[in-house]
Amino acid sequence: MNAVMMNAAMKTTTLGPSGIQCSAIGLGTWAMGGWMWGGQDSAAATQAIHASLDAGVTLIDTAPAYGLGASERLVGAALKGRRHKAVIATKCGLVWHTQQGTHFFDEDGHPVYRHLGRASIFHEVEESLKRLQTDYIDLYITHWQDSTTPVEETMDALLSLKKQGKIRAIGVSNVDAPTLAEYLRHGPVDAAQERYSLIDREIEQTLLPLCGRNNVAILGYSSLALGLLAGPIDPARQFTGDDQRATNPRFSAANRTRLQAFFDELEPLRRQFGCSFGQLMIAWTLASGSVSVALCGARTRAQATENATAGALDLPEEAVQRIDDAASAHLKALA
């Protein structure tokens, strides 16, 4: 057992004006759907969900687009008998049942569109409720924004679902500040889910001030930058199949060498806190004060437990500064 596991309990937070409380570490389930991650293992994914709950994680984040419903089905099956212990976040706005909106990508032979029209959202929520085997969704998030639908229409649909009790809170994702401001003109937004990690900090200047003024919780996704910040990666490792990391320039052999120097510099700090590099990066994400929840993907029990345990690690200001300094020295080329 490492030192972190003997530390305090999981930190908790509140999702904006909704008052919903959840863990400061959230389980991200994109990879569990298999799409863009080189396939999936349902049994291992189920174990990862159970391990997260056992380790104090309550927020489970999923989406219909993660494997065209595969991730939601996994989450629903894994939470049977334990639904009351979870805060489920899922999404709308990436659709394959209609060709309205704007074509975004193809997944498993299906064209997927960005569309946030009222009728489409009502259709999507019913499909998600079936897959998740529940009668309500805690946090319902617009996954990607739709330039063809007025925000007022989208927000009206979400507020209607909230009145009906089918969702408890409203979130947005992959949004710019003007669009978020438009959402806020029509009602409360409880959370914004945005990419955030040690090497992805753009929202500090763009969205954070607006969110702070309006009590919008920030859910930071890709806290480990698709695994890049989880620890040293062998430069010879190959990513296969449809694994997005195979073509991601951040995972080049040169960048993996830069990362090795970064982790070498932080090795004394890692030993000091008795944690893994991944736990150190997740703890930095929370200690930075920019996000309410650090979303961390996992596909195995071991990964889920390791990520969750970082929710009990407190980093003092000097440790946060050492990590920032090491990132400035070695990771500028990755950002």
**Six token digits for residue 56:** 């104090």
Are 2 and 38 within 8 A, CB to CB?
Answer: no
Here the tokens at position 125 are 């929520």
Q: Measured between alpha carbons, how far is 56 from 85 in angstroms, rounded to an integer?
A: 10
DSSP three-state, residue 24: coil
221 a catalytic residue: no
> What is the rounded CA–CA span in Å between residue 55 and residue 313?
13
Cα dihedral value 254, 255, 261, 263, nearest 10:
-150
Q: Which of 66, 140, 183, 196 is catalytic?
A: 66
| Whether 191 contacts 164, CB under 8 Å | no
In three-state secondary structure terms, 87 is strand
Write b or e for each residue in 65-75: b if 16 or more Cβ atoms lie within 10 A of its Cβ, otherwise e: bbbbbbbbbbb
Active-site residue list: 66
